[in-house]
């Protein structure tokens, strides 16, 4: 499980540092697998102000912005957000920054023939919330050119909470049902072309809070998944085939930072979503069964609301422990 330092300090009266808390948890047998600093992921993003916004000459839904970054000449940025306008203060990802939600590096590029020097970002792209309808709007007095940490509204920086519903099955086993949130499309990772995939093969690049690339294949057992996954280490790579049941798929996964694993919950959700879009399972199926090496789960697509997925799988109570932590 993941929790924030602020949440933990709501339950502990302590001034200990995160390193001290981690050491104490490890010492009593509660292993801390890792510590993430959200601010570190935002190092390449800066507060910027849109000076002008003009229609893109070659694309009706794009605008060409001039953006003040607080240093040097204003930069030109191509943007498709509906709320982009002159005077807006938002967040600019500069070339070289890595977008947290997609894991891809921003580069100076030409979009429909017009130079773009970065990207104006939404809260979802920075993993600060679920809003993807437009770019972040900061207070007008936010300091232009400053780092992003501390500038976003506090509620956007809170950890996401997921609602879990539990249904008894037998004995100590229950079915846990979790709303995994909204599925969204993302750009292909920059190294995707190195896979040499057949352009006619079904592929989807999706975010379920983390980036996934789902590929439809004829036989998951014969695909060199380790080799392919290592070529795109910035995403979770799932390969899927239909069946054996009519409302089921079989999936294997190479997870970023881990390699081939036995199962992946968000990967199962992304794969079930793709399978429905491709027609590998009937669109009317109430649930998609996802077979993985580590076991089976069920995924409801467009539940509990349109665009969301719900993950359902068995959970078993193993033991109960009480621990008193003194820092």
d(CA 265, CA 290): 10
The pLDDT assigned to 157 comes to: 38
- Band (158; pLDDT cuts 50, 70, 90): very low
Q: What is the pLDDT of residues 83-110, one digit of tens each?
A: 899 999 999 999 999 888 878 889 999 9
Beta carbons within 8 Å of 108's beta carbon, 6+ residues apart: 95, 115, 116, 117, 118
The whole-model pTM stands at 0.53
The pLDDT assigned to 224 comes to: 93
Would the CA dihedral through 290, 203, 62, 77 be positive or negative? Answer: positive
Q: What is the pLDDT of residues 112-125, one digit of tens each?
A: 999 999 999 988 88
Highest mean pLDDT among 28-42, 153-167, 242-256, 308-322: 242-256
Domain ranges of the chain: 5-35, 41-157, 164-316
CATH architecture classification, 41-157: Beta Barrel (2.40)
The pLDDT assigned to 321 comes to: 61
Query: How many C-alpha atoms does 254 have within 13 Å on its Cβ side?
Result: 20
pLDDT at 217 over 90: yes
DSSP string across 245-266: STTEEEEEEEETTTEEES--HH
Residue pair 144/70 in contact by the 8 Å Cβ criterion: yes
pLDDT at 295 over 50: yes
- If you average pLDDT over residues 136-148, what whole number do you get? 83
Phi, psi angle pair for 18, to nearest 5°:
-65, -35
Lowest mean pLDDT among 83-87, 219-223, 283-287, 321-325: 321-325
- If you average pLDDT over residues 262-288, what whole number do you get? 91
- DSSP H helices in the chain: 5-11, 18-27, 225-231, 265-278
The pLDDT assigned to 180 comes to: 87
Beta bridge partners of 310: 179, 300
pLDDT at 72 over 90: no
Q: Provide the percentage of residues in the chain whose pLDDT is more than 90.
A: 41
For 164-316, CATH gives 3.10.310.10
d(CA 252, CA 82): 38
Residue pair 251/244 in contact by the 8 Å Cβ criterion: no
Phi, psi angle pair for 239, to nearest 5°:
-115, 135
β-strand 119-120 against 184-185: which pairing, if any?
A: unpaired
d(CA 303, CA 37): 32
Phi, psi angle pair for 102, to nearest 5°:
-110, -20
DSSP string across 290-309: EEETTEEEEEEET-SSTTEE
- Band (132; pLDDT cuts 50, 70, 90): low
């Amino acid at each position: 499980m993941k929790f924030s330092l602020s949440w933990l300090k709501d339950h502990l009266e302590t001034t200990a540092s995160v390193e001290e808390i981690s050491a104490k948890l490890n010492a009593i047998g509660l292993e801390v697998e890792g510590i993430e600093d959200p601010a570190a992921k935002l190092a390449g993003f800066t507060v910027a102000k849109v000076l002008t916004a003009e229609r893109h000459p070659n694309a009706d839904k794009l605008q060409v912005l001039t953006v003040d970054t607080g240093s040097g000449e204003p930069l030109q940025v191509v943007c498709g957000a509906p709320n982009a306008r002159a005077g807006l203060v938002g967040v600019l990802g500069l070339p070289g920054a890595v977008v947290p939600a997609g894991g891809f590096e921003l580069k100076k590029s030409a979009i429909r023939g017009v130079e773009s020097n970065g990207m104006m970002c939404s809260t979802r792209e920075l993993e600060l919330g679920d809003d993807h309808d437009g770019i972040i709007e900061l207070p007008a007095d936010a300091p232009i050119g400053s780092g992003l940490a501390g500038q976003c509204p506090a509620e956007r920086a809170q950890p996401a909470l997921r609602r879990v519903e539990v249904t008894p099955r037998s004995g100590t086993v229950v079915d846990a049902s979790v709303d995994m949130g909204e599925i969204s499309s993302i750009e292909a990772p920059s190294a995707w072309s190195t896979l040499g995939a057949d352009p006619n093969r079904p592929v989807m690049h999706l975010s379920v809070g983390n980036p996934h690339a789902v590929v439809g294949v004829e036989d998951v057992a014969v695909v060199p998944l380790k080799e392919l996954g290592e070529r795109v280490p910035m995403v979770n790579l799932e390969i899927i085939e239909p069946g054996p049941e009519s409302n089921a798929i079989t999936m294997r996964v190479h997870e970023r930072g881990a390699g081939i694993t036995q199962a992946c919950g968000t990967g199962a959700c992304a794969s079930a979503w793709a399978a429905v879009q491709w027609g590998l399972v009937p669109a009317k199926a109430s649930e998609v069964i996802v077979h993985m090496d580590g076991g089976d789960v069920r995924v409801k697509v467009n539940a509990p609301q349109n665009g969301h997925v719900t993950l359902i799988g068995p959970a078993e109570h193993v033991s109960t422990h009480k621990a008193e932590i003194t820092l």
